[in-house]
Amino acid sequence: MNDIAILSSEGYGYDFIPPAFLPPGKDEYWLRNRQAERPASSWRKLRAREIEDLVKNDNYCSNWDSFLVSDPFEPSLIRNSRFYGLIRLGILADVLLRHHDFCIPAGIRNSTIISCDIGNNAAIQDCSYLSHYLIGNRVILSRIDEMQTTNHAKFGNGIVKDGEGEDVRIWIDVMNEAGGRSILPFADLIPADAYLWGAYRDDLALMDRLREITQEEYGSPRGVYGVVGSDTVIKSCKIIKDTMVGEGAYIKGANKLKNLTIHSSTEEPTQIGEGVEMVNGVVGYGCHAFYGVKAVRFVMGRNCNLKYGARLIHSVLGDNSTISCCEILNNLIFPVHEQHHNNSFLIATLIQGMSNMAAGATIGSNHNSRANDGEMRAGRGFWPGLSVTLKHSSRFASFVLIAKGDYPYELNIPLPFSLVNNNVQKDRLEVMPAYFWMYNLYALQRNSWKAADRDKRKHKIQRIEMDYLAPDTAEEIMSALELMEGWMRDAGVSLPPGSLGGSALFIEGAGEEDPEYDYTPRSDEEILAYGLERHNRTTALLKPRRAWLAYREMLRFYGMKTLIARLEERPYLDFPGLIAEITAPDPAWNDAAAEGRVHAWVNLGGQIAPAFRVDALRREIREGRHTGSYSSWSSIHDGYAVMAAAYPKDRLRHSWSILRYLWGSEETDTHPARNREAFKAEIQAALEIQKKVTEEVYRSRAKDFHDPFRGITYRNREEMEAVAGKSEQNSFVKLNREKLKQFEASAAAILERL
């Protein structure tokens, strides 16, 4: 039932803040004046002649004494408009404002304005209801049905205002549809904050402290005005309510924007287009939302795109991500996520970045259990293929590719870089570990390159790890090796003695010549694996021996590539200096590392950090109310920056520990950790691996060009090459060959120096 009250017209535009919520000695403008960029001395009252001119131009003001202007002021530029409450105008001159092909004179026409500050040379036309906003300089507002701020506006922050109950607080139910991991949105939230809040739910003191920080930082006083930043254009919109808009934004044709913070700057302008409806959320710098997008209870990171009817609900979307057409519900998605196709669906998941959803994928459902609290967790590089359907609750290691199919049971895939297949004919699950490294290095290498290439953030609040070989994936490989070795022993398949991978990796059938290795084609093709599926049917591990070799080569490449990068960064380091830098005492590592290696690493919103550093940050946040440290989200972000600064050294130490594991006992004088020449040989081996990676990138791509079915739509080879190009001319293939040259030059310089 509609409740329409009848009020007196006296005082229209005043008493924005109810007297009960005014601090002692404050008036209704105390927050407005704090927000205003101009000193009160810059405004003056109207002169009698100016009032006459305004009235002649069919303008009305309930109290001309409350209409303040700046010099110069041209009253002829204000026409057929009505003003209520305190109005303060900046400079108004006879100039035109042009945005693309849209050109409009400065001034105010055919509008109703209530208690607003308007900056220099703004253009406002056909705005039926503009209330309680601070408008910046050179702003264009055209044809807006309703644009207002209420005295209890929260601008997308999960706070309550004075006099409000907890029932109005906005929560976002990430990772779990039932709300067991709910977080509070706020204007400066990044995925690391959401993960810290959503993942460590057993840390009750931390949960309480994060809620307190959010409420304290984003405030409870009533009466904050909405803001439209300078050089922003808003036109042809229906309803804009309780929305902060940054500088340089472009908003056109939106249906409804309510309770939002829309970040934008001239460096990273945000655009919102036709048919968009957004409620209760935060839009990051440099974002784009077009063509019927719906977003409710959400946070978008920097440089994100929502397009073509995408629905983003109860979710946090990390930086540099694109969602088209589909639905995203109850998710925490780390930076660099791609999802383009109309029939995709994603519910109640933690997707940890560098991910890609293919058409028809149905990831998660609340209909396979008695409750809607199922969850799904996937590491970096998650890649479900065409029409893949997955059930809650499932978990996937990093860079898992899931082949097309309907997966009838819950999955637990701890083997990174693997290919997962539901073999319907044999009624079994098949997993090929290290698939990407063995057969599709083009996709693997391109994923990391693409993640970096599409990072258009001008201000990088977090250090996002975009290399597929990093401490988190290295530790997953270590765990996978341990699992595989157990399954291989159970199957009676012995391991290649002392092998590090090497040149045998890419040779089909490698290993048959080794008399000490009990190899048969059957044992190398598949063995049984256990615990990967919530069912008792057969799970086959494909090509386990090749995968075991591949995993170890990946570790070797990760370790040496990290050390080579360090030597390249610090040209003054010789071999003893490098060893001394790595092994220098570090109390944090000495306390956290067992046998010199940190096993637990956290993907903190795309930033990789040792778990002990994250645990220390959690402890300091809990204690912040007593110590005064970590009492705001900006200080917590500073804590992430401290971890990011320590990361290169953390990664270096971890790489060294992995290499020592691969090299085995250090008792001999020829051990690479003790012998300069042996270490130089390892650099040469890393160079050989890099050469093979470059060649495999080309070979992976060339398969498409040599596939006979690829050419059936062309009249001849020449037409195909004119349309699709040649494999050797592929831009990414050429880029990798150029990087190989750089790696060779760097390795040669280091070898000479050592």
Q: Tell me, what CATH number does 361's domain have?
A: 2.160.10.10
Q: Which class for 168: exposed (0-12), middle (13-18), buried (19 or more C-beta within 10 A)?
A: exposed
Q: How confident is the model at residue 594 (pLDDT cuts 50, 70, 90)?
A: low
Residues 6+ apart with CB under 8 A from 105: 77, 94, 95, 96, 97, 123
Q: Which of 664, 696, 717 is the last residue of a domain?
A: 664
Inside any domain, residue 48 = yes
Claim to verify: residue 118 and residue 196 sit in the same structural domain: no
More confident residue, 512 or 109: 109
In this structure, are 443 and 505 located in the same domain?
A: no
In a domain, 670, yes or no: no
Judge if 96 and 187 occupy the same domain.
no
Is 616 part of a structural domain of the chain?
yes
As a three-state string, the secondary structure of 332-378 is: EECCCEEECCCCCEEEEEEECCCEEECCCCEECCCCCCCCCCCCEEE
Q: Report the alpha-carbon distance of residue 414 to residue 315 in Å, rounded.
A: 25
Q: Which two tokens stand for residue 401?
A: 């590719």
The angle subtended at Cα 453 by Cα 450 and Cα 459, nearest 5°, is: 130
pLDDT of amino acid 1:
57
What kind and span of H or E run contains 568? helix 544-569
Q: What is the pLDDT of residue 524?
A: 58
378 and 413: one domain?
Answer: yes
DSSP state of 23: P
Specify if 493 maps to a domain. yes
Question: Is the same domain home to 625 and 702?
Answer: no
pLDDT tens-digit map of 294-305 = 999 999 999 999
Whether 315 is in a domain gets the answer yes
Does residue 380 lie in a domain region?
Answer: yes
Asked if the model's pLDDT at residue 522 lies above 70, the reply is no
What is the overall mean pLDDT for the chain? 91
Same domain, 186 and 326: no
pLDDT at 513: 39
Does one domain contain both 353 and 317? yes
What is the pLDDT at residue 702? 76
Cβ neighbors of 752 (< 8 A, separation 6 or more) are none
Comparing 315-324, 357-366, 461-470, 494-503, which segment has the lowest mean pLDDT? Answer: 494-503
Give yes or no: residues 637 and 493 share one domain.
Answer: yes
Q: Are residues 187 and 326 in the same domain?
A: no
Residue that is last in its domain, among 664, 695, 725: 664
Query: What is the number of structural domains in the chain?
Result: 5
Distance CA 413, CA 590 (A): 32
Asked whether residue 715 falls in the same domain as residue 643, the answer is no
Predicted local confidence at residue 673, as pLDDT? 87
Q: What is the dihedral of CA 333, 334, 336, 337, to 10 degrees?
A: -20
Based on the fold, state whether residues 186 and 285 are members of the same structural domain.
Answer: no
Of the candidates 459, 466, 464, 455, the one whose C-alpha atom is nearest the C-alpha of residue 304 is 455
Domain enclosing residue 55, as ranges: 19-148
Closest CA to 130 of 120, 109, 151, 145: 145
Alpha-carbon distance 65 to 567, whole Å? 71
Measure the CA–CA gap between 491 and 582, rounded to whole angstroms: 40
pLDDT digit string (tens) for 664-698? Answer: 877 777 889 889 999 999 999 999 999 999 998 88
pLDDT at 701: 79
714 lies in a domain? yes
pLDDT score of 534: 93
End of a domain among 88, 117, 148? 148
190 and 327 housed in the same domain: no
Q: What confidence score (pLDDT) does residue 510 get?
A: 37
Q: How confident is the model at residue 628, as a pLDDT?
A: 72
In a domain, 228, yes or no: no
> Per the structure block, which two tokens stand in for 552?
């170890």
